[in-house]
């Protein structure tokens, strides 16, 4: 498990999160047709918890983002505005965890991973969706933006997007310190515990192995959920959660 644990931490931390932004960006940008484009974009950003949090803590960056979407709309219409909004959503989705996460209070990190686990459990009966949700960071060809949009709108992602917004809003100026030795001990504990229920070969999906069927996808999903359970239940909560969030940095 020395390889699998750090790899999966990166996947959980940031790589599959950007598609969560698109359900807010896509439909809204496609629908606005008013004369005051700037006001419409402001409304779009205000309705999206992630964008709203980012603009609140990074007002200058938010202003640049707003102008970029407006310029894209002027030059290429709704399609261009949507693509620009998605690009910023991708960046914010990454930053929420990889930059703001290590600076966030422990309670916000826990809420984020709880929400992620709960949303993953909602999708367990849909192996293809569950696999794409958890593993698209390793295999981006398994979940295109539109597919990601469809996946997350099939369930209630309110808690997950809200938890990511909290990571941004509540982050301090500097990353919290953590004990690297304690994190390594947690990873060893979790690796050993998982090997009691899974074979070493079952972790091939963390290394980019391609599922051959829904049985494989179901296995990959179950392992990911089991790992999240282990991290959330570990007695050394701070080392477990600080370790997994900092592995995304």
92 CB-near residues (< 8 Å, 6+ apart): 21, 50, 51, 54, 168
pLDDT at 140 over 60: no
The predicted pLDDT at position 106 comes to: 97
Please state, rounded to an integer, the average pLDDT across all residues of the chain.
Answer: 80
Query: 85 versus 249: which is more confidently predicted?
Result: 85
In angstroms, the CA 130 to CA 20 distance is 14
Q: What is the pLDDT of residue 146?
A: 47
Percent of the chain with pLDDT strictly greater than 70: 76
> Does residue 18 have a pLDDT over 50?
no
Lowest mean pLDDT among 19-33, 130-144, 169-183: 19-33
Closest residue by Cα to residue 241 from 76, 114, 127, 118: 114
The Cα–Cα gap between 203 and 220 comes to 8
What's the N-to-C CA distance of the chain in angstroms? 20
pLDDT at 1: 52
pLDDT at 59 over 90: yes
- pLDDT bin (cut points 50, 70, 90) of residue 12 is very low
What's the pLDDT at 141?
58
The angle subtended at Cα 141 by Cα 137 and Cα 147, nearest 5°, is 90
Q: Please provide residue 39's backbone torsions phi and psi, each rounded to the nearest 5 degrees.
A: -65, -40
- Higher-confidence residue: 150 or 236? 236
Question: Tens digits of per-residue pLDDT, 206-221?
Answer: 878 889 999 999 999 9
Domain boundaries, the chain: 4-246
């Amino acid at each position: 498990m020395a390889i699998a644990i750090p790899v999966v931490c990166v996947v959980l931390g940031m790589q599959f999160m950007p598609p969560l932004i698109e359900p807010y960006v896509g439909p809204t940008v496609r629908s606005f047709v008013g004369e005051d484009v700037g006001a419409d974009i402001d409304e779009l950003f205000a309705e999206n918890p992630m964008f709203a949090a980012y603009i609140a803590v990074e007002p200058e960056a938010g202003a640049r983002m707003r102008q970029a979407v407006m310029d894209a709309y002027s030059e290429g219409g709704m399609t261009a505005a949507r693509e620009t909004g998605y690009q910023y959503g991708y960046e914010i989705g990454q930053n929420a965890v990889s930059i703001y996460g290590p600076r966030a209070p422990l309670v916000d990190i826990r809420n984020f991973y709880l929400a992620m686990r709960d949303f993953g459990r909602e999708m367990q009966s849909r192996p293809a969706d569950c696999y794409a949700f958890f593993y698209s960071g390793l295999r981006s060809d398994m979940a295109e933006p539109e597919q990601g949009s469809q996946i997350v709108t099939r369930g209630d992602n309110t808690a997950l997007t809200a938890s990511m917004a909290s990571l941004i809003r509540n982050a301090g100026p500097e990353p919290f310190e953590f004990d690297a030795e304690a994190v390594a001990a947690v990873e060893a504990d979790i690796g050993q515990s998982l090997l009691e229920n899974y074979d070493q070969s079952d972790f091939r999906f963390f290394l980019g192995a391609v599922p051959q069927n829904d049985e494989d996808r179901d296995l990959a999903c179950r392992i990911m959920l089991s790992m999240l359970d282990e991290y959330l239940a570990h007695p050394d909560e701070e080392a477990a959660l600080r370790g997994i969030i900092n592995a995304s940095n």
